[in-house]
Amino acid sequence: MKIQSRYLEEVVKAFSDLPGIGQKSALRIAIYMLSQPKEKMRDSKSR
């Protein structure tokens, strides 16, 4: 899978290294996280 953004590609690679997460799922997770407000991502880190 070729992704245009080098940074997005690195994030997808990191997620796809997790057991049970393929490249498609990793891309979906990365896009979801990037589409969320920063405040929501900050709140989820402290849980």
Task: Give residue-wise pLDDT tens across range 8-43.
Answer: 999 999 999 999 999 999 999 999 988 888 887 666
What are the residue ranges of helices labelled H in 1-47?
A: 6-16, 23-35, 38-45
Decide: 29 and 36 in contact? Cβ < 8 Å.
no
1-35: CATH, from 1.10.8.60, 3.90.660.10, 3.40.50.720, 1.10.8.420: 1.10.8.420
> pTM for this one?
0.72
CB 29 within 8 A of CB 21: yes
